Structure 1
Amino acid sequence: MRKRQVVFGMLGTQLDAGTGPGRWQKWRPTVALGMHEDFVPDRIELLLDERRFGRLATQVREDLALAAPEMAVQVHDTYMADPWEFEGVYACLHDFLAGYAFQPEEEDYYIHITTGTHVSQICWFLLAESRHFPGRLLQTSPPRKQTAHDPGTYAVIDLDLSRYDHIAQRFARQQLQDRELLKGGIATRNVAFNRMIEQIEIVATRSRAPMLLTGPTGAGKSQLAKRVFELKKLKHQLPGRFVEVNCATLRGDGAMSTLFGHTKGAYTGAASDRAGLLRSADKGLLFLDEIGELGQDEQAMLLRALEEKRFLPVGSDREVESDFQLIAGTNRDLQQAVREGRFREDLLARLNLWTYRLPSLAQRSEDIEPNLDFELERWSREQHERVRFNVEARARYLAFATSPEAVWRGNFRDLGASLMRLATLARAGRIQTEGVDEEIARLRAQWSGGDAPSLLDTLLGEDAGALDRFDRVQLEEVVRVCAAARSLSAAGRELFAVSRTQRASTNDADRLRKYLARFGLDWDTIRRSGGPGD
């Protein structure tokens, strides 16, 4: 059974106008809808302001009746206070469609986007793309030469992108390229890290809200912030600059001046006006690393600048403006800093919408190999000299680098420095086993500091330093028992030997598993660190 063809459209107050016999020499898009031989709608739903354009609508209806007697025309009195005001036009069309009784089983629908203002055309497009309108777009065009009763041409546009494999593939490729940009072109393998990058790519392109990057020193917070800026710059979202400052370097009166600027004579030594970093980042991205080191006064000023985009430079009684996007970085526990009164709770709430914790290098051991290749390639490019491992040396270095013994306290900074030393000392562009053995010895000495790291330090890396003394003492005992036990259940039975007798039912393994998860640990990780296993 053939479905009825229904076209929705706005009356063209200029294009559809015409009186007298000469009007048939002119192309009128709404009237032309009834003149195509291979596409004649069964009904036209015509939207217009009858108070202003009722006479024109009557003429158009009469001409459609002559051109296509079988076609019905339904007129809808649609008032728009300002046809060029986006929000009002969208609301008007949205409400009209919401109240219309669509019958998609019996009718096919089209939106005639040739008539109406550009604003209404955009709104029709959005409503069709979001499926508020269950149909397709219809674009008509005039004939090359104006002749009587020539309807011109038409084209149907389907916005269902799932039907366009090449377009869908192009979008998918672009998304992958954006994620590769955020990863610096490194083929990372860590599942959790890659999943985090996927979400950051979405957030970076859709949101201007602040972002908080946490994690140990050297985990790559600064590099990731720069890549977020590069991605947003590539998409024409940030025309301004990337401005970076380590808040740990800001001290005393100079902190306010560095961030918010000052006026000439604001204090001794202020010989001229200073814009400050916030104003330098206008229309760009400001990265405040180690934001937990900011003083209380600076935190209060930063909060106001984030919320109102306005602030007072030091020594000035006139506010200035800066519309910047903020990414903050920290290796501290800001929640703990709030409890201790060292960090403002309202500022943390403002920063905490998009928070991502970058794992340490030891927690991403599978990413050491691709980063090794990346760092050597970068060194070779900068020094114009190709350097490579021989097979045995590469295997030996990776075996050590991915073992529990390699704590990588400085994370990627340690790895980058290690590979730079190896490349610099390599002879004839080849890193040999002798050089690897020397570097391993150097790293062991660097990390030990005279004392071998505890098993807990090995497992948690720099995160171990964030533990309260109470938690550390308790966790060290739990890890010791787990490392010596034959299984997770055996460790649980030993650790909960007293309390388990007071329970009707026990699941020691599950109880222990949940405890370890609080600190980002699991049985397999501890077992790989030296326990006897099952």
Structure 2
Amino acid sequence: MAKNARRKTVVIGMLGTTIDQGQGPKRWEKWRPTVALCQQEDLLVDRLELLYPPSAGVLAATVTEDIRQVSPETEVQGAEVGIQNPWDLEQVYGALLDYARSYPFQPEQEDYLVHITTGTHIAQICMFLLVESRHIPARLVQTSPPTGRDKGLGGMGGHTLIDLDLSRYDTLAARFQQEQREGLAFLKAGIDTRNAAFNRIIERIEQVAISSRAPLLITGPTGAGKSQLARRIYALKKTRRQVSGPFVDLNCATLRGDGAMSALFGHVKGAFTGAVGDRPGLLRQANGGVLFLDEIGELGADEQAMLLRALEDKRFLPVGSDKEVESDFQLIAGTNRDLQVDVERGRFREDLLARINLWTFRLPALRERPEDIPPNLLYELDQASQALEMRVTMNKEAQEYFLRFAISPEARWSGNFRDLNAAVLRMGTLASGGRITREDVDEELERLRGQWTKTAPSGAVDLVAEVLGAELASELDRFDRVQLADVISVCRQARSLSEAGRLLFAQSRARKQSTNDADRLRKYLTRFGLGWDDVSRRGAAELS
């Protein structure tokens, strides 16, 4: 389709079994909203999808023929819908929902309007509901009869694009809320998460995902679930008819040298040695869909510049080509780095960051969500069952023992959910008959402790020296130095003093021995002449 080609306008509307009636020549003296809709001077209807009940076939044929006379450029497609009682909300909604689900919408090529002047009030409400929930990707149009001198002369009247306020319909509002709850559960993979901060993030993502095509930036440590969330955002948008194209993903850390430009933007035959044929590139593959670029901070300067142009103009040049190509995709970017710090260091374009951080969401690390470890353990047991093709379970003693360790300060979860997934998969593989016991858990915990302590000592010492300075750090006993290093590490992963306190004193809080974790942490840091800014992520950024 040419860039400036006019998009087709498609109207979906119910036949007005009373208001669209008219017989003989005198019918042209009567205002009939469905016919008048196709006579509007400033609204060209390319196709009208005329919905009618089984009993109104003759009237539908008459209206169709009349529209062909007054608007020969309008294609009318009749569709019989199974509505016997037009005042039965359940029946009407069910029939229209079935129609919407089966209709081949093409929102990239066509604009859709839903005509709500005709049909019963029940039908109008149901139409609104389907548009609001994006089952029908459309706007609403309402026609009105002629007034003044044109009144009663069969004039075309006018039309208005409108939004309806249905807040007074409590039962319908409840339907929206239910659909939102279903969307939230879908984004969380059905896991009953309990962390309030994480749940708030998912609520915001669900709202943005179904109402915006602007780029999303998902930050957080490696293994926090960025790529899985991106896939679920795409799947949610797909079910709501927000996208029709594919989900295309790439870890930018895997791009190297000249191949980076070609992988992203494609190339033409002969562009460089080895280019034996044309390559579309990932941006073109994602046309109409979602492109997920994980670790976007790893892109080089040239790739960043080209990506910015593609986001702003939806056009770019493949490698070796002098002809631009188009691609209209939504970008979801992921990173475990502080891109603002990268901007200050000249590693990331400031204008590109400004373009992609309209909606930024930080996924917390697993150790920041101790209350979510139990439901995620159950989820990982199900995942292991699918991977191993047998039922993987964990007896009560083993589960309680594993969870005590999992939420303790000893559990680093440096790989976040990747660590948890791998741990459960290993235990399920080695367990006799897939039944994980206390002995299986003991073996896995020994493995995890060894994995997490391999790099901890040298890194721990460096953290203390970094914050206190080498001279003051050298004056500390080894015991205090190792303990302080772990505290600093936790603080840098947390977003606030309170959150760090909850992580560090989880066990004593569970036994109700401490009522103010933040104050306890503040007093501990004061012993070394430190404050929150000295040990937090902000302090780390300033030091670097």
TM-score (norm 2): 0.61
**Among residues 182, 186, 189, which one is paired with 1:184 in the alignment?**
189
Aligned position for 2:209:
204
**Is the contact between residue 404 and residue 459 of structure 1 (CA under 8 Å) also seen in structure 2?**
no
Is structure 2 residue 221 aligned with structure 1 residue 261?
no
Is structure 2 residue 259 aligned with structure 1 residue 299?
no
SS of 1:267's equivalent in the other structure is: coil
Aligned position for 2:369:
364
SS of 1:356's equivalent in the other structure is: strand
Mapped partners of 2:527, 2:384: distance in 1: 55
Against the structure 1 CA distance between its residues 119 and 427, is the aligned structure 2 distance closer, same or farther, given a 3 Å change threshold? closer
Aligned residue type for 2:336? N
Mapped partners of 2:523, 2:437: distance in 1: 48
Against the structure 1 CA distance between its residues 410 and 421, is the aligned structure 2 distance closer, same or farther, given a 3 Å change threshold? same
Mapped partners of 1:436, 1:465: distance in 2: 27
SS of 1:332's equivalent in the other structure is: coil
Mapped partners of 2:364, 2:488: distance in 1: 10
Alignment of 1:208-247 (within 5 A): 208-247=213-252
- Is the radius of gyration larger for structure 1 or structure 2? 1
Q: CA deviation at 1:269?
A: 0.5
SS of 2:361's equivalent in the other structure is: strand
| Structure 2 unmatched ranges of 5 or more | 1-18, 47-111, 119-123, 129-141, 146-162, 461-481, 509-513, 540-544
Is structure 2 residue 389 aligned with structure 1 residue 429?
no
Is structure 2 residue 87 aligned with structure 1 residue 82?
no
Deviations, residues 253-307 of structure 1 (Å, cap 9, x unaligned): 1000000000100000100010000001000100000000000000000000000
**Is the contact between residue 256 and residue 314 of structure 1 (CA under 8 Å) also seen in structure 2?**
yes
> Across the two proteins, how many residue pairs are aligned to each other?
379
Is structure 2 residue 135 aligned with structure 1 residue 175?
no
Mapped partners of 2:446, 2:182: distance in 1: 39
Aligned position for 1:342:
347
Aligned residue type for 2:241? H
**Is the contact between residue 492 and residue 535 of structure 2 (CA under 8 Å) also seen in structure 1?**
no
Is structure 2 residue 407 aligned with structure 1 residue 402?
yes
TM-score (norm 1): 0.62
Alignment of 1:383-532 (within 5 A): 383-449=388-454, 451=456, 454-455=482-483, 458=486, 464=492
**Is the contact between residue 248 and residue 290 of structure 1 (CA under 8 Å) also seen in structure 2?**
yes
Deviations, residues 421-479 of structure 1 (Å, cap 9, x unaligned): 11111113321111111111110000000645655665576884999xxxxxxx9xxx9
Is structure 2 residue 269 aligned with structure 1 residue 309?
no
SS of 1:317's equivalent in the other structure is: coil
Mapped partners of 1:85, 1:388: distance in 2: 59
Against the structure 1 CA distance between its residues 450 and 237, is the aligned structure 2 distance closer, same or farther, given a 3 Å change threshold? closer
Mapped partners of 1:119, 1:450: distance in 2: 60
SS of 2:42's equivalent in the other structure is: coil
Aligned position for 2:334:
329
Q: CA deviation at 1:166?
A: 3.5
SS of 1:264's equivalent in the other structure is: coil
Mapped partners of 1:491, 1:273: distance in 2: 60
SS of 2:369's equivalent in the other structure is: helix
Mapped partners of 1:434, 1:491: distance in 2: 36
Mapped partners of 2:249, 2:43: distance in 1: 44
Q: CA deviation at 1:170?
A: 2.1
SS of 1:428's equivalent in the other structure is: helix
Against the structure 1 CA distance between its residues 211 and 492, is the aligned structure 2 distance closer, same or farther, given a 3 Å change threshold? closer
**Is the contact between residue 488 and residue 536 of structure 2 (CA under 8 Å) also seen in structure 1?**
no
SS of 1:238's equivalent in the other structure is: coil
**Is the contact between residue 289 and residue 330 of structure 1 (CA under 8 Å) also seen in structure 2?**
yes
SS of 1:270's equivalent in the other structure is: coil
Aligned position for 1:106:
none
- Matched-pair identity in %: 54
Aligned position for 1:290:
295
Mapped partners of 2:534, 2:455: distance in 1: 32
Against the structure 1 CA distance between its residues 280 and 26, is the aligned structure 2 distance closer, same or farther, given a 3 Å change threshold? closer
* Cα RMSD after superposing both structures: 4.3
**Is the contact between residue 409 and residue 462 of structure 1 (CA under 8 Å) also seen in structure 2?**
no
Q: CA deviation at 1:123?
A: 9.5
| Structure 1 unmatched ranges of 5 or more | 1-13, 31-47, 54-79, 87-117, 130-136, 141-157, 468-474, 500-510, 521-534
Greater mean alpha carbon deviation, residues 379-388 or residues 347-356: 379-388
Aligned residue type for 1:362? R
Runs of 4+ off more than 4 Å = 14-19, 83-86, 118-126, 137-140, 450-467, 485-499, 511-520
Deviations, residues 66-117 of structure 1 (Å, cap 9, x unaligned): xxxxxxxxxxxxxx8625599xxxxxxxxxxxxxxxxxxxxxxxxxxxxxxx
Mapped partners of 2:206, 2:418: distance in 1: 24
**Is the contact between residue 83 and residue 120 of structure 1 (CA under 8 Å) also seen in structure 2?**
no
Mapped partners of 1:311, 1:138: distance in 2: 42
Aligned position for 1:133:
none
Deviations, residues 486-520 of structure 1 (Å, cap 9, x unaligned): 97668767977999xxxxxxxxxxx9678878769
Against the structure 1 CA distance between its residues 26 and 84, is the aligned structure 2 distance closer, same or farther, given a 3 Å change threshold? closer
Aligned position for 1:279:
284
